[in-house]
Structure 1
Amino acid sequence: MVNLFSSFDPSTSILSLSLNWISSIIGLLCLPICYWFIPSRFNLIWSLITSTLFKEFKVLIGPKGHLGTTLIFIALFSLIMFNNLLGLFPYIFTSSSHMSMTFSLALPLWLSFMLFGWINHTKHMFAHLVPQGTPSVLMPFMVCIETISNIIRPGTLAVRLAANMIAGHLLLTLLGNTGPSLMIISVQFLLLAQLALLMLETAVAIIQSYVFTVLSTLYSSEVY
């Protein structure tokens, strides 16, 4: 089990430089040059995706949100989805499966939301600690519960993304390691199972980036 989880440890290095994290930017080199100059099919598809995300995030943030806020979350979605999908290729380290990256994405976002809310909308933040209609007897308990739930938000965001990325990759690794010890007929079923899991992991990679971004958007909308 130690060797199994060691595959998610960024330990590959040359001259004390960690090479696993290069996967976060190496995909930019694979984009075709025509993507940057003319409206190619990739550009049109991505424009459709970003426009859809812009409309949805604009509704979630509300009319009180600042201009340009949706662009931050679209960029966040693009970064996470890019790293998730890149990790499906062989011998490429999935940086989004490591807590050091997911927590470094979640903590600054949450901290900036909290500082902005408590500095500019202090009364609203205090009122948000007690849900509307709470009996006076339960108010102290609700304040404690809401405070704890706010504090653990960056941790839950980071753990959710990293755990979902690790779980699917572990299952693919476990099934792949059983291949040499199986018969030829069983290997055919194993290949079908691996293809199905790969399709599932592709969907999970997109869904988890969407979930991370939507939750961050909802957290930002609470501070107005």
Structure 2
Amino acid sequence: MTQSEDLLRVLIYIEEKLDHGELEEAESLCLQMIDFYPNNSELLFVYAITLQLLEKRERAIGIFEQLIRNNFTSSEVWNHYAFLLFEENLFSQAQKALRNAFKKEPKNAFSWWILCLLRTYSGNFPAAKRAYLYAQWLDPDMYPKLNLLSKSQLESLLQQSIAMLPQEQQFYWNSVIWNITDIPDPRHLQYQNLSPLKPLLFFESSTATLHVYRYNIAHLKIENQSATQIIYEELSMLKHSPLWPTIST
């Protein structure tokens, strides 16, 4: 077996690991192979994707920038690079990267979805909707109709989720202010260095306010019943946070 055949076999194996969610093992395999093929662009690309899935965003960005310097600049590279920059809240840089992706492949559904995200989290909701509809037209299976719930619908889901909690926790979350809003406040993202797309809820202890983000829940692309379960799980985890509200006696 030649070196190239050996590398291809391992790359396929790593991608299988990624498909099965075995991210740490995939990362370990990438690092082992990079020792033998330090400049192989396909391997570095798979490694960058692995880091991205592990939410090691800064390292992934560094690998993508290395690929770009080496002129390995497919639309996939530009798209993933743009998405990572978006997740790091570097919107201007993400837009520049995305323009390069569109130059390579104008009708790439992933590109249009990233454009939708950039517009959404910049507050340009009508333009974001147009971008998402085009992504949906290009790939309706990957980008189904968004289930963007109204504030009253989300209040109902939140009530259902809270009702699933132990009684003491129900009391807490029914006692705080609920702020159902479109997208996260950047300050809430900075608190935990989160992607704009990541948080569904944020509890602000200083104002006793539970923030719930409509677009983040919509982009989960799930039915209401599943959303109720996920919100319940998020609320359950908040009890372990130092931000867990306390009741004065």
TM range (shorter): under 0.3
- Higher relative CO (Cα under 8 Å, sequence separation at least 6) belongs to 1
Which has the larger share of helix?
1
TM-score, normalized by length of structure 2?
Answer: 0.23
